[in-house]
Amino acid sequence: MLRLAIFDCDGTLVDSQHHIGAAMERAFTEEGLPPPPRAEVRRIVGLSIGEAVRQLLPEATPARHAALADRYRAAFFALRAAGTMGAEPLYPGIAELLAALAGDGWRLGVATGKSDRGLAHILAHHAIAPLFATLQTADRHPSKPHPAMLEAALAEAGVMARDAVMIGDTSFDMAMAVNAGVRAIGVGWGYHPADELIAAGASVVAEDAAELRALLA
């Protein structure tokens, strides 16, 4: 039987909150706006950038949202290119977990609000790109919690929804899984608290990579 484990990226595979916060602060500043508190930015990690800025500045016009999204993208890659922030680190045990799941016969995927370029950079930096059978990003799909990313992942991997699991750290991930008819597992090391993950549809919340491995055994 084919099984597919689909992972969120930011807050699940890698800890990127500082990178995202710094880029968002620069984007707002360059638009002449006061930057949102880091706690608010942390809340929207996982959404596509267009939806994220809409939630951070709901009273703004669509044109201002588009400008902020463009500023954010430029700021993120400028900060990375300047070397002012290192690569987003993998959470403890993630590399070993992915290798173990692949060895157990799981197909692996990613469904993320990142761009294709941003995701490719992370997977290449950590030398884990070959482990994944399907990669779904905000470049080709509506923002979470729309189920399009998971539907595409299932189709590309050739796996039925009942044989797949979505693993993520935000309520957006859990709601996306529910919308796609896929089992949702939350992780407790990311950006939304466990009670919110359960309320959004998580069947369980793993507190570390070892517990997640046991849940998938």
User: Would you state the pLDDT for residue 1?
Assistant: 80
User: Would you state the pLDDT for residue 99?
Assistant: 97
173 is catalytic: no
Q: How far apart are CA 134 and CA 24, in angstroms?
A: 28
Query: What is the pLDDT of the chain when averaged over all its residues?
Result: 95
Element (H, E) at 75: helix 62-82
Q: How far apart are CA 209 and CA 23, in angstroms?
A: 28
Residue range 16-27: mean pLDDT, rounded: 94
In 3-state terms, what secondary structure has residue 159?
Answer: coil
8 is catalytic: yes
Task: Render pLDDT for 83-127 as a digit per residue (tens, 0 to 9).
Answer: 767 779 999 999 999 999 999 999 999 999 999 999 999 999 999
Which candidate, 190, 137, 140, places its Cα nearest to that of 168? 190
Q: How far apart are CA 78 and CA 63, in angstroms?
A: 22
User: Would you state the pLDDT for residue 82?
Assistant: 78
Active-site position among 8, 15, 139, 163? 8
Q: How far apart are CA 19 and CA 33, in angstroms?
A: 19
The pLDDT confidence band at residue 81, using thresholds 50, 70 and 90, is: confident
Element (H, E) at 198: helix 194-200
Q: How far apart are CA 153 and CA 4, in angstroms?
A: 9
Angle at which helix 94-103 crosses helix 209-216, to 10 degrees, equals: 20
Residue range 67-84: mean pLDDT, rounded: 88
Quick check: 215 pLDDT over 90?
A: yes
Residue range 20-34: mean pLDDT, rounded: 95
Q: How far apart are CA 98 and CA 217, in angstroms?
A: 13
Q: How far apart are CA 36 and CA 43, in angstroms?
A: 11
| Cα dihedral 19, 25, 27, 32 in deg (nearest 10) | -170
Quick check: 191 pLDDT over 90?
A: yes
Active-site position among 10, 116, 139, 169? 10
In 3-state terms, what secondary structure has residue 35?
Answer: coil
pLDDT above 70: percentage of residues in the chain: 99
Lowest mean pLDDT across 83-92, 149-158, 169-178, 185-194: 83-92
Q: How far apart are CA 57 and CA 92, in angstroms?
A: 34
Q: Which residues contact 127 (CB under 8 A, 6 or more apart)?
A: none
